[in-house]
Amino acid sequence: MATIAVLGTLDSKGEEHSFVADCIREQGHAILLIDVGSGGKPTVQPDVDRFEVARAAGIDLSPLLARADRAECVAAMAIAAPALLLKLQREGRIDGVISLGGGGGTAIASAAMRALPIGFPKVMVSTLASGNTAHYVGTKDIVMIPSVLDVAGLNRISKLIFAQAAGAICGMLHASPMGGSERPLIAASMFGNTTDCVGIAQAEMEKEGFEVLVFHATGTGGRGMEDLIRSGMFDGVLDITTTEWADELLGGSLSAGSDRMDAAGEVGVPTVVVPGCLDMVNFGEPDSVPERYAGRLFYHHNPQVTLMRTTPKECAELGRILAGKINAYTGPVTVLIPERGVSVIGIEGGCFFDPEADSALFDTLESELKEHITVERHDLDINQPAFARACSQALLRLLGSSD
């Protein structure tokens, strides 16, 4: 029998959470009912009250309740609930979490769910689930279910949705991957313009007994990779596609944030770094490109994606940024430079072919790196099989030296 945390604002939505708890009990599982409300008294008796939740983060809730500032209380609970759930999960006291909410409840519960590891069952029934949920889900595997109606009482529609959500969390408890692998894990970053390189490197690593998880370098993918590297689950990193830094520097649409490339250095995991696709910045439709970039070189990848070529000055700055990140690495690292182009469209004959910009990137990156860091220059473009194999061989050497 598993224990599922049913977390919610029990002052305003106690009846609804109690209904979900009953549905889960009917499936043979135990419940831990957690109150994160900050209004009136809870309408059902919680197993963990709001004061205990607040104490998990060292917060004294009483003065906040006395001021009756709802925004302040919601913000406090959005800090405390993650601390409590992570503690419960690490102690083995809960096996999944479900919540129902409007704006405030979704903010609190989704923050708590984002603190939990990938693979831990998480279901959020929300009035906001039909819109942009990126800031609620983050990089975690939160299942968002639209409530359709407001979460305000029980009726034939809400009971159907709540019961199905309860069934979903119970079903997730019984799910297990088929053909599970115990092979050591490698993280790899990939973009459409580096697919051939990563695919070949992946195959080479898998021949040597590794499992390679490939992340799409679209901002969310990079953030997800950073989170999982930081969790300690990877044995090595093939960071072949560092393009998200071009978007971070120049305001593109696929930035992964200023901490992109930090996790591997913090954890000390063996890492190969390539300046893949730093010849491009991503924007949406043509009219989404900022006016300050008028007159620049663009490539219209499709109607929704516009790519802008980085200049020599911008490439030099990207080289400095990457070097600064790599210089902070505490584990073994090797930098590989494909001198004939860092993307499909950046090679000779491609629309982004610019030897001057590439040289600014490569030369600045190498000159700014600390002396002990190995740099390999290859007279190849990034997607040639020989370069891909060089990436995998470099990582295998690092993994061997770290044993």
pLDDT by residue (tens digit) across 303-312? 899 999 999 9
- Please tell me the predicted confidence (pLDDT) of residue 179: 59
Please provide the CATH number assigned to the domain covering 3-174.
3.40.50.12020
- Please tell me the predicted confidence (pLDDT) of residue 68: 84
More confident residue, 233 or 381: 381
Percent of the chain beyond pLDDT 90? 90
Asked if the domains 3-174 and 185-402 are classified in one and the same CATH topology, the answer is yes
Q: Which fold has domain 185-402?
A: Rossmann fold (3.40.50)
- Please tell me the predicted confidence (pLDDT) of residue 132: 86
- Within 138-261, where are the H helices? 156-174, 195-207, 220-230, 244-250
Q: What residue segments make up the domains of the chain, in order of their start?
A: 3-174, 185-402
CA distances from 151 to 77, 101, 187, 322, 379 (A): 19, 6, 40, 47, 61
Per-residue pLDDT for 373 more than 90? yes
pLDDT by residue (tens digit) across 119-153? 999 999 999 998 889 889 988 999 999 999 999 99
pLDDT by residue (tens digit) across 159-182? 999 999 999 999 999 887 765 567
Per-residue pLDDT for 402 more than 70? no
pLDDT by residue (tens digit) across 55-108? 999 999 999 888 888 899 999 999 999 999 999 999 999 999 999 999 999 999
Question: In the predicted model, what is the mean pLDDT of residues 353-382?
Answer: 98
pTM of the model: 0.80
The pLDDT confidence band at residue 388, using thresholds 50, 70 and 90, is: very high
Rounded Cα distance between 12 and 40, Å, is 8
Question: In the predicted model, what is the mean pLDDT of residues 252-274?
Answer: 97
Calculate the dihedral angle through the C-alpha atoms of 283, 289, 292, 295, rounding to the nearest 10 degrees: 100
- Please tell me the predicted confidence (pLDDT) of residue 96: 97
Rounded Cα distance between 265 and 325, Å, is 8
- Please tell me the predicted confidence (pLDDT) of residue 253: 95
- Please tell me the predicted confidence (pLDDT) of residue 134: 87
In whole numbers, what is the pLDDT of the chain averaged over residues? 95
Question: In the predicted model, what is the mean pLDDT of residues 234-259?
Answer: 97
Per-residue pLDDT for 403 more than 70? no
Rounded Cα distance between 81 and 37, Å, is 11
- Within 27-155, where are the H helices? 50-55, 61-67, 70-90, 103-114, 134-137
The pLDDT confidence band at residue 327, using thresholds 50, 70 and 90, is: very high
